Each structure stands twice: as structure tokens, then as C-alpha cells.
A and B are shown apart, each in its own frame.
Chain A
Amino acid sequence: MQLEIRPDVSIRAASDIDPLLSLAGITKTFPGVRALSDVSLKLYPGKVTALIGENGAGKSTVVKVLTGIYQPDEGDIRIAGEPVRFPTPQSAESAGVTAIHQETVLFDELSVAENIFLGHAPKGRFGLIDKSAMTTRASDLLSSIGAKIDPGATLKDLGTANKHLVAIARALSIDASVVIMDEPTAALSQKEIEELYDLVDDLKAQGKAILFISHKFDEIFRIADFYTVYRDGQMVGEGAIEDVSEPELVKMMVGRDVSQIFPDRDHNIGDEVLVVEGYEHPTEFAGIGFRLRRGELLGFYGLVGAGRSEFMQALFGITRPSGGDIRIDGASATIRTPADAVGNGIVYVPEDRSKQGAIGALPIFQNVTLPSLSRTSRNGFIRLAEEFKLARKYTERLSLRAASLDTEVGNLSGGNQQKVVIAKWLATQPKVIILDEPTKGIDIGSKAAVHEFMAELAAQGLAVILVSSEIPEIVGMSDRVIVMREGRIAAELDRKDISPESLVSHAAGIGGVEQ
């Protein structure tokens, strides 16, 4: 592990101008997790600072500290040198900090104008909300960001991209000196992204300090003036963007050379196990077809919202497709429910562990045996000894760390919860395992373990589907990659053709692959 890559430019950046907003020594712990450990952050007036880090590095936590949703355990926040505290979201807003959050924090049943002005609507006579003023100001705000949306429309009737523009308008409706943008381009098209860049330029010209969080390096180099890098809840580097290169930033983010993370694989690929043909859904995806062999690791890459998870959930029987065929080991299969999928040897490790993966309030052993109860029981009656035996076998294979097998899964760390979910599926002895963003939000150590384990599964003859948004992971692990864009297959790449550049260009639909 090479940890010390701190360019000395940070000193220069700080000495030039005084920061408008600064964080120092911020620490935030949750039960069992230290999300932020003594981090700092500086935002300068009229400048864009990019906050960079892997999932789980602490970026979202710092945004929540800045917007009054979380209170830090230690450390101070200063605006123009004055110490401030944000006990509530309102106090952050009135101090001039506004944020475009990553999750859409909007209300389906309210109108666009109300979504923009909820909590700070213009008031007219008797302190009532002045609807016409609100509509006018909403429509001004929307047109200023180039959005053609009727302020009177109900939010639920809007598409994803338009909802995101409403969220941006909401953030700008607060007269703020500090604007936080948490992955603002994730849901936008290329044209809308360009308009967002123009907006950022406007905000800079108005002297606002901007915190820009993004995973896309082209974006960061396009609009950021400064960068700050977090890793595992600590600040590992900061400085001016012109003094740094992309590989240097990646090294700071990851803490070591990317290529070293991934295990060497024995590419021992066997017979065809799964064939999918013409899978389609009225609104989510269309024309999905591919073949998968034993021992093969097939990557699914695409931008957020490309339809990968939606397709995988249809394959697993959560949603019903409108058409398409599946063959497993040559035999045609019908999958209407997850129970059908499990019965056919297809299992799914979902992205949302706490909601879909593990059942937090149940103990580890009950989580592991849940889909395998028919094997551990006799005539429908539970046999605890058998359950513990099965749970022990698979959790130890994954080197799970827990106090005991009857510990509630909700009390484990993210990485160990993920291990419980994987153990649960391995205990069913599946043929195909689908892993949806398996390393999202887990620590580096557990990540490496999950990667090694994936390689081992493939080596043992399991067919593995890896859905991931992390390019290094896809590049490092996959035998073959299917790139999805807007619900369709944009490209299928063999091992020799897999490169970060090819993935990005196919996923974004640029570089001459536009259909």
C-alpha cells in the first residue's frame, strides 16, 4: 500500500485567497462505522472545488454535515472565517448553504413550483403562500437553467431528467453563497449537462463557492478549479486542478495502483449455462440477449439509470418482462417469481443491501438458511442444528467476521452484511450468481475479499454476472462486458477490447457508436 501521495500544491492553493467556507477536524461516527475522521474541506468564492473519492469515502456524509442533516461529533465549520453550527437543515440554508442532493428529495404529489419553494415559499396577505408569485419565480428559475417545465405540473408526471432539473432549481431558489452539487449530471443527457456547465459558470461569476461531487474525471477537469480527495473517511489530498493528472487522482482515491487490486484469474470457461433472448419490458429495457458459460465472469457496465438493475431484477423474477426467453442448461425456463429463479439456479445479490439483501433484524444463520430451509428442515419442521451447520459452512468460506451466528445482521458492517447475502445464495448451490454493485459502499479490505471470492466462484464453475458502475472493477474482473445504454445493449466487448475508454464511450453513446 502506498499511501503518501500528497502533492505540495495544497499549500499554494490555500494561501492564494481566503476560503468562503471551511471545515476543519470534522469527525462523524455511526454505530460501528467511522464515516469521517478528522477531515477538512475548503471552498473558495467564485471557484469550483471537486470532491473526489470512492463510494463510501465519506463524500455524502460531508454533504449531510454541510446541510445540517448530520451533526459532526467534533470539528468546526466556518463561513468567511466565522464559526457556525448547522443543527437543522434550515440553519444551513439561512447561513447560505444549499445543495443538489444525490437522491431525488422531492415530492411526487406536489406541484413543480411547490417542490422548488417548499419551506421558503413567498408569502402574501395574511401570511398565506402567494401562489402567483411562487409560480412566476419558479418559472424564472427554471428558464434560467434552461428547463422547459410547467411550474404548475404535478411532479409525478415528470421524467427523471426533468425531476433532476427541478431539484437543481430548488437548490438555486435559496439565496446561497455556497452551492453543493452531489453528482448533478448522473441523470442528465449530454445537452442538459452542457447547460449545467453554463449554469456553473454563471454561479462562479456571481462569486458563489461551489462544491462539485462527481465520479467522471472528464467533468472534473472540465469545470473544477480545485480538488479535494477523501478515502475511507479521511482527507488524503487537495490542491489546484491544473497541478494534478488523472492517474494521480486515481491513486489518491484508491490508495494503490488500480491494476494491483484485482486477483489473477484462471479463465477456465466451460459449457453454456444460461441463454437469454429478446428480453424486453414496456418501459425499462428492450432487446436484451446474451449467452453465459460456466466459469465465465460477465460484466454489465452502463451509466446510472441505464437499465442494468431493472433487467437483472426481471431475470430474477422481481418484475415481469413483456417478452423474451430464458434457457438454463439448454432447457427452457419460466421465471415469474424470485422463488422460481432460485429453483432454476439463478440468484441475485442486490445493490440495496439493507432493503433487499439482508433481513437486518434476523440473526445471521437465519438469513443464510432462508432460501435453503427445505434442505435443513424435515417435513417443514425446523432443525436448528442443521441450520447452524449450513450457515457455518458458508459464512466461514467467506471469512465472515461476527461475534456469533445468532448476531443480528443489521449490527454487522456493510462488507460483512454483503458476505451474509452471498453466503445465503451459495448455500442454495446456484448455477448463475448475479452481483449488482457488490462492492458499493464497502471498505477497501472487504472489497478485495469480495473480488477474490468472485474469482474463486468463477474458478469453481459458477457463471457470474457482475453489474458495476466502477470501471476499474469491470475492467479488472470481467471476461466479457455488455455495455447498456438507455435500456438497450450498446456493445458487447471481448476481453481484449475491454478498456476504460471503450466502456465510457459506449455507455455515454459518444465516439461514433451512436445508432
Chain B
Amino acid sequence: MKRISASRELLLLIAIALLLALIASRFPAFVTPANLAAVFNDTSPLILLAIGQMIVILTKCIDLSVAANLALTGMVVSLINIAAPGLPMVVIVAIAIGFGILLGMINGILVWKLAIPPIVVTLGTMTIFRGVIFLLTEGKWVNSHEMSDAFKAVPRTEIFGLPVLSWIAISAVILFWIVLTRTTLGRSFYAAGGNPNAATYAGINVGRTQFWAFTISGALAGLTGYLWVSRFAVAYVDVAGGFELTVVAACVIGGVSIMGGIGTVLGALLGALFLGIIANALPVVNISPFWQMAISGGAIIIAVVLNAQANRSPGRIILKRAEHAT
């Protein structure tokens, strides 16, 4: 029952614990609370994007445009900041989320109303979004000195010892955990991806549900866009280039099934943390950071093999003897 679905996350949790123990055995400084908090903070953008991506994948879709959305929204809010440095940060954040939603809705509409395969739609919007950044800036960078101090301060501001960036990731985890487990829309994501035909019978509009998934993914990508450019204090065309695949990797490692209907916020969180810990640990343990890509590739393959075995359904059982055994 619950055990089986929980075991995926449990397995990953154990893997993360083993990984940390291994690092700690040689480099105890890595597992000090301060350093772990720093690792978490560094992984926060990936966590935010992985939650959005997980919801999209739940509905049997994929969003390859998240990193481009992040870059475009980041650039838009940077330009707004240059044009109107006095604008309150609340407004900037609202614009980032709103603009991200708009970009997500474009994907969603194309998937819902025109039934274009999600991989094609987001492959297309991915290149378009990046191209639009170029059109906006003619390839110029927005550098640190052009951004207002308030603009750069938000993600770094510490509350109760943790930066705002971390708090946003924590809030998103809690918020979307509630949305996915306790709201009708949240359960519809699982239903629409797990069994689209049955979802239609249950009165769920599968296309519209997918639309909302892309919208959420867009909102999170937009928010992350602002956080990213303000944290690194730079915006340019190739911000977070190729990051969409890291995000998908975090989901896959977190036990999200690419076939739809299976996945949890906890899984996405752990998948992102797994990749974040490896990225942060490599320089510490004196392994060249150039190992990171191969390790995450290996992790994806191992994760997908393990997930496939865990999800293999027993099928219909006819023999009475076997039926009693369940």
C-alpha cells in the first residue's frame, strides 16, 4: 500500500544519507549545518524548477522551455529594474511570476487547444524565448552595477539565519505539497496523467489540466528567473543554458515517471538535492567538477532503471491461488 509508493523516496533518502556520510568521512566540514544550508540555498532554484517540471510530467507532458523562460523573465525584470529602479520589489516579484505564467500559458494553450505534442511545443518556445532575449538586448549583458541594490538584495536577505532564496524554496515545497495532496486540481494532475481515458469519464478535462500544469511550471520558472539574475547579479541570453535537462534529471532521479501519473513533491525535492549535493561536494572532495555531468547522467540511468522495476504493475491476476496470495 503506502509502503510501496513511499519506498521510492525512502530509497533516495538513504542514497543521499550514504552520499553525505561518505563525504563526511573524509571532509567533515561539508556536513556542518552552515555548509548544508549553503548547499540547500544553492540548490533552491533547481528545487523550484523541479517542482514545476514534476507537475508537468505528472500530466504526461514535458516542459523543455523552463530554463529559457527563466532567462527571459530574468532579463525582463532586469530591464524593468534599470528603467524604474524605484519600483518596489514586491511588484518586481509579481511581474516575474506574472510574466512566467504568461509564457507557461503559451505552452499550455498550444498543448491544450491545438493538441501539439508537448516536446515539440516546448522545444519551439525554448528557442523562441532565448531569441526574444537577444531581440530585447541585442546580445548585451545586464551587469551588477546596472541593477539596483534592493533588486540584488532580496534573495540574499537573511531571515532566521536562512536567505530568502531558501525560504522561497521551502515555501514552494510546502505549498505544492498541499496543492498536490489536498486540492482537487492537484489530484487531477495525477488522474489526467495516470489514466487520461478514465479521467475523462470522471469529468476531468485532461487538456485543461495540462494547461494548468504548464501555467504552474511557468510561474515557478518566472519566479526563479528573478531570483537567479538577482542572486548572480547578471542577466544575459544564455543564463541557465541547458538547465532544463538538469531539471528533468532531478525529477527522474526523484522517482517521477516520464509516463505520467507518478511523482511527489518530496521526490522532486530529493532528486534536486541529490544533484545539488554532488555539484557542491565535488570541489570539496577534490574531484574535478568536470565529473559532475557524467555522475548525474549515471544517476539518471540508475534511477530510471530502478523506477521502472518499482512501477512494473502486476497486471490482472486470474488464477485463484494467486489472487488469494495478494
- Answer yes or no: are A and B bound together in one complex: yes
A residues with a Cβ closer than 8 A to B are: 67-69, 88-90, 93, 101, 103-110, 114, 118-119, 121, 127-129, 131, 150, 152-154, 156-157, 159-160, 282-286, 305-307, 310, 486-488
CB-defined interface of B176-192 with A at 8 Å, one 1/0 digit per residue? 00100111100110110
Nearest CB in chain A to that of B178: its residue: A128
B198, closest chain A residue (CB): A105
Expressed in whole angstroms, the Cα–Cα distance for A333 and B1 within the complex equals 42
A488: which B residues are within 8 A, CB to CB? 319
Scoring A106, A109, A131, A488 by chain B CB atoms within 10 A of each residue's CB, the highest score goes to A109
Q: Is the Cβ of B187 less than 8 Å from the Cβ of A110?
A: yes
Do A154 and B5 form a contact, CB below 8 Å, given A114-B187, A286-B319, A487-B318?
A: yes
How far is the CB of A156 from the nearest CB of chain B, in Å?
6
> Is B191's CB under 8 angstroms from A283's CB?
no
Q: Is B190's CB under 8 angstroms from A486's CB?
A: no
Q: Which of B200, B318, B320, B322 contacts A89 (CB 8 A)?
A: B200
Report, as a range, how many residues of chain B touch the other chain: 35 or more
Contact of A160 among B2, B204, B317 (CB under 8 A): B317
In Å, the complex CA distance between A129 and B180 comes to: 10
Which residue of A is nearest B262, CB measured? Answer: A109
Chain B contact residues: helix, strand, loop or mixed = helix
Interface members, chain B 202-242 (any A CB < 8 Å): 202-205
In the assembled complex, the Cα of A285 lies from the Cα of B318 at a distance in Å of 7
**What is the bound-complex CA distance between A282 and B325, given in angstroms?**
12
| B201 interfacial by beta-carbon distance below 8 Å | yes
B204 and A310 form a contact (CB under 8 A): no
Given A90-B203, A109-B261, A157-B4, is A118 in contact with B187 using a C-beta cutoff of 8 Å?
yes
Residues in B neighbouring A106, C-beta threshold 8 A: 195, 198
| B318 touching A306, Cβ below 8 Å | yes
Q: Are A109 and B326 within 8 A (Cβ)? A: no
Q: A90-B203, A109-B190, A159-B326 are in contact. Are A127 and B183 (CB under 8 A)?
A: yes
Q: Name the distance in Å between B200's Cβ and chain A's nearest Cβ.
A: 7
Q: Is B32 an interface residue (CB 8 A)?
A: no
A-B contact pairs, 21 of them (CB 8 A): A68-B203, A69-B201, A88-B203, A103-B197, A106-B198, A107-B191, A107-B261, A108-B195, A110-B194, A118-B202, A121-B187, A128-B178, A131-B182, A150-B1, A152-B2, A283-B317, A284-B317, A284-B319, A305-B316, A307-B319, A486-B320
Most chain A CB neighbours (cut-off 10 Å) among B1, B262, B318: B318
- Give the docked Cα–Cα distance between A127 and B183 (Å): 8
Q: Is B323 an interface residue (CB 8 A)?
A: yes
CA distance A423 to B100 in the complex (A): 55
In the complex, besides A283-B318, A285-B319, 19 extra interface pairs with C-beta distance below 8 angstroms are A105-B201, A105-B202, A106-B195, A107-B199, A107-B261, A109-B194, A110-B187, A110-B194, A121-B184, A128-B183, A129-B183, A150-B1, A153-B1, A154-B1, A154-B5, A157-B326, A284-B318, A307-B319, A310-B318
Q: B313 at the A/B interface (Cβ < 8 Å)?
A: yes
Q: Which residues from A are CB-within-8-Å of B5?
A: 109, 154
Q: Please report the C-alpha to C-alpha distance between residue A303 and residue B326 in the assembled complex, in whole angstroms.
A: 22
Contact flag A129-B197 (CB < 8 Å), given A283-B319, A307-B318, A486-B319: no
Shortest distance between the CB of A323 and any CB in chain B (Å): 13
Chain A residue numbers with a CB within 8 Å of B319 are 283-286, 307, 486-488
Which 7 A-B residue pairs are closest in the complex by CB-CB distance? A89-B203, A105-B198, A105-B201, A487-B318, A487-B319, A128-B182, A90-B203
In the complex formed, the residue of B with least CB distance to A306 is B318
- The residues of A that contact B261 with a CB separation of less than 8 Å are 107-109
Closest Cβ of chain A to B203, distance in Å, is: 4
Interface of A is mostly: loop
Most buried by B among A101, A103, A152, A157: A157
How many angstroms between the C-alpha atoms of A69 and B199 in the bound complex? Answer: 11
Please, how many angstroms separate the alpha-carbon atoms of A150 and B5 in the complex?
Answer: 16
Give the distance in Å from the alpha carbon of A284 to the alpha carbon of B315 in the complex: 10
Known: A157-B1, A159-B326. A89 touches B201 (CB 8 A): yes
Contact with B313, one of A108, A119, A310 (Cβ below 8 angstroms): A108
B224 to chain A, nearest CB (A): 26
Q: With A and B bound together, what is the CA distance between A273 and B204 in angstroms?
A: 52
B 86-121 binary contact with A (CB < 8 Å = 1; else 0): 000000000000000000000000000000000000
Nearest to A488 among chain B residues (CB) is B319
Residues of B within 8 A of A127 (CB): 183
**Once bound together, how far apart are the Cα atoms of A54 and B187, in whole Å?**
37
Q: Is the CB of B314 closer than 8 A to any CB of chain A?
A: yes
Contact B2 A118 (CB under 8 A): no
CB distance from B201 to the nearest CB of A (A): 4
Residues of B with C-beta under 8 A to A128:
178, 182-183
Contact, CB under 8 Å: B201 / A119? no
Q: Nearest A residue to B322 by beta-carbon distance? A: A283
A105 to B206, CA, bound (A): 14
**Measured between alpha carbons, how far is A362 from B21 in the docked complex, in Å?**
57
Q: In the complex, which residue of chain A has the Cβ closest to the Cβ of B317?
A: A283
The CA-CA distance from A395 to B3 in the complex, in Å, is 54
Q: Which A residues touch B200, using CB under 8 A?
A: 69, 89
A283 to chain B: which residues have CB within 8 Å?
Answer: 314-315, 317-319, 322
Q: Which residues of B are found within 8 Å of A153, using beta-carbon distances?
A: 1
Q: In the complex, A128 Cα to B177 Cα: how many Å?
A: 12
Contact residues in A for B194 (Cβ distance below 8 Å): 107-110
Q: Contacts A109-B5, A109-B194 known; A156 to B184 CB distance under 8 Å?
A: no
Shortest Cβ distance from residue B180 to the other chain A in the assembled complex, whole angstroms? 11
B-side contacts of A285, CB under 8 Å: 318-319
Give every chain A residue within 8 A of B2 (Cβ-Cβ): 152, 154
Contacts of A282 in B (CB 8 A): 322
Residue of B nearest to A158 (CB): B326
Residues of A within 8 A of B182 (CB): 128-129, 131
Residue of A nearest to B179 (CB): A128
A418 to chain B, nearest CB (A): 23
B residues less than 8 Å from A109 (CB atoms): 5, 190, 194, 261-262
The answer for the CA separation of A487 and B319 in the assembled complex, in Å, is 5
Across-interface contacts of B188 in A (CB, < 8 A) = 118-119
Q: What residues of chain A lie closer than 8 Å to B178, measured between beta carbons? A: 128
Closest chain B CB from A487 CB (angstroms): 4
From 56 to 105 in chain B, residues with beta carbon under 8 angstroms from any chain A beta carbon are: none
A110 touches B317 (CB 8 A): no
Instruction: Provide the bound-state CA to CA distance between A215 and B313, in Å.
Output: 30
The docked-state distance in angstroms from the alpha carbon of A108 to that of B262 is 10
Q: Nearest-CB distance from A142 to chain B (Å)? A: 15
Contact check: which of B202, B314, B318 meets A486 at CB < 8 Å? B318
Q: Shortest beta-carbon distance, A64 to chain B, in Å?
A: 9
